[in-house]
Structure 1
Amino acid sequence: MKNNNNSNVTSDDDNSDATYPYFVEPYFMYVITCVIISIGLPLTLMAIYSLYSQVQNNNVAPIYIINLLISDIIQFCCVIVKKAKPVDLKIYRIFYYIYCFGVLASIGFMVCIALERYLGIAWPLWYRVRRTIKISLVVCVVVWTLPLVYVLPFYFQVEIKVLKTIFAGCLLVPFPLLIFFLGGTLKSLSAAISVSSDEKRRIVGILVLVVLIYTLLFLPNIICYLVEEARDNYTFRNLTFMLLRFSPLADLILYFFMRKGAIDKLLASLCCCRMDSDDNSRSSV
């Protein structure tokens, strides 16, 4: 009976981590995953606790980053269950799709963070009047609801190839939005008189970081799901799974950069290093 069930699973879900009897993960991936969870989970909980006290009527940005970190907690918990390999394959697959739900939600909140930063530069006066906790909470509810477009078909026994296409499409939609927010922000920098230069630098830095995280960690998964040759490449498929597991740690880096003064200190240290190198080069001459 067990072998028959496994054979049915492979016909439904080839080349997927959703069926662990046939997804043999290299040992180094298992070790890296354990390290990511052991470091990322406690730091994420600490970051949520730190951000919760910062939510005010005039500061709605922490709401989006808090929800982003909550989606990371969901991913951590699902990966822990997947690594434990429960005997009931149905439970395993349920947590696999919950994990995908968390991934899609995290991308949605990345878009919210980018949109909030874009409006802060392109429409500073308009956004300053309309940014309230109530509106932000409504946006968060919408973002948590949208990933159900991918999860609900699972309960209606939709073919796994269709689910993969839907998942890749959901991952791909935010990319042009992020590029637009970054380009629009750079274009509107000179016109944003009411925004200080330090705030402009922080906003651009956060937007660049969001685009980099998305490009490096999520785009390879889109390629893996949509391109058959890439999906059949065992090494590339393992790499995309590994990159996706790094996304919660990347969100922690985003949280650090969103803290006031973090980017300024980094740029100041880089400038100091550059000045020291220039001084050394001059002294050598």
Structure 2
Amino acid sequence: MLWTKELSYSVLVVDSITLITGLPANLLALYTLIRKAKQRSTPLDVLLLSLTFSDLLFLLFLPLRIKEAAKMKWTDSFVLCPLSGFVYFSTIYNSTLLLTAISVERYLGVAFPIQYKLKRNPQYALIASIIFWVVSMGHCSIIYIVEYHKPRNSTNMELSNRTSCYKEFSSEQLELLLPVRFELFIVLFCIPFVICCFCYVNFILILSRLPNINPQKRSRAISLAVVTLLVFIICFVPFNVSHVVGFIEWNSPPWRVYTVLPSTFNACLDPFVFYFSSSALRANFNHILQQFLNWLQRSVCRKFKCLQGCVTTYEEGTQSSNDTSR
């Protein structure tokens, strides 16, 4: 698969939007969650913090993709190619596992409130987060195996002189890669997605039956469920469907590269999950938003008064000139 102008433009637009919006939002989340964790940490805080680290790591390597798309070829060190792919896909699948864990945590909190409160421990969430990182990175280590797998009639020099990163595969490499992609679809997408759907559907049903719950709280809970499921559908479904199609056809579909684009949006959509999950993040975000609106209002008022003053001065000068001529 070679770079085209259409693909280059698409990657530049999607990755740039993700970087510009996702980086400040995740940095704000990181700052807020670290402050809260120092005071009183909950399992949800640990999961959200791990998801924030995952998104920031993803965003850290995103400029390499932007640079490759802008030049329409890989110009950096060959060592960075599998590393960027490894980080890119590991963080994507780590996000699916963490979003699923958040759905389980939310469901247990409303389905078994007393039992869950007694056994609620941030250490369990920390252990789960570490396991998720190990599982996602362990599966995505196939990137290194494939990249350094030497096809027949190829030399190491030829491999290191390629102009694209993780896009062109030999038949020998595809024999290794396609079954692993299918396993990724089953283990790291289908199972988490089914669990997530089960938890949030029951989560919403339980909340709808509770008579004394605050309507605003119910609305936020439903918004969290909807946003999380939308992240799965928008960001992860197209990419993982390409795994299945590729496995059935025993080839890497040419349109597969476009399915990676929605996955990139994951890093700028996750902050919506943070917003509906954490009251501390909502308060911090609302405070910053209010400060920005106040600054914008002051700036507009100053410019309006300045403009109004200039108009008044002009009118006075015109009137004075007319009086003099008379």
Do they superpose with TM above 0.5? yes
Report Cα offsets for 1:87-133 as digits up to 9, x if no partner: 33342122112211111111111011111110111111111111122
- 2:156 equivalent to 1:167: no
Secondary structure of 2:36 counterpart: coil
CA distance in 2, matches of 1:47, 1:149: 27
> How many residue pairs are counted as aligned between the two chains?
241
Tell me what 2:28 maps to. Answer: 46
Stretches of structure 1 that go unaligned for 5 or more consecutive residues are: 1-14, 16-21, 263-285
In 2, the alpha carbon distance for the partners of 1:260 and 1:181 equals 21
TM-score of the superposed pair, with normalisation by structure 1 = 0.74
Query: What amino acid is aligned across from residue 279 of structure 2 in structure 1?
Result: K
Alpha-carbon distance between aligned partners in 2 of 1:219 and 1:107, rounded to the nearest angstrom: 11
Q: Does 1:107 align with 2:124?
A: no
Q: 2:199 aligns with which of 181, 184, 188?
A: 181
Structure 1 residues 239, 128: CA separation in 2 closer, same or farther (over 3 Å shift)? Answer: same
- Greater shift, 24-33 or 66-75, is seen at 24-33
What residue number does 1:68 align with? Answer: 51
* Paired amino acid for 2:29: A
Larger radius of gyration: 2
Find the counterpart in structure 2 of residue 30 from structure 1.
Answer: 12
Code of the aligned partner of 1:232: P
Residue 167 of structure 2 aligns with which residue? none
In 2: Cα distance, 1:190 partner to 1:243 partner: 32
Deviation by residue 1:188-242 (Cα, 9 ceiling, x = unmatched): 33676896655444333312221121012111111122114896353xx354222
2:82 match? 93
The aligned counterpart of 1:232 is 253
Q: TM-score, normalised by structure 2?
A: 0.65
Residues 113, 50 of structure 1: alpha-carbon distance in 2 compared, 3 angstrom cutoff? same
Percent identity of the aligned residues? 19
- The gaps in structure 2 that reach 5 residues or longer are 68-73, 147-172, 283-326
> In the TM superposition, what whole-angstrom CA distance separates every residue of 1:11-43 from its partner, at most 9, and x where no partner exists?
xxxx5xxxxxx3443314313312321221122
The CA distance in 1 between the partners of 2:213 and 2:47, in whole Å, is: 21
**SS of aligned partner of 1:240:** helix
Deviation per residue, 1:233-282 (Å, 9 max, x gap): 53xx35422211111111011112224396xxxxxxxxxxxxxxxxxxxx
Q: Which residue of 2 aligns with 1:212?
A: 230
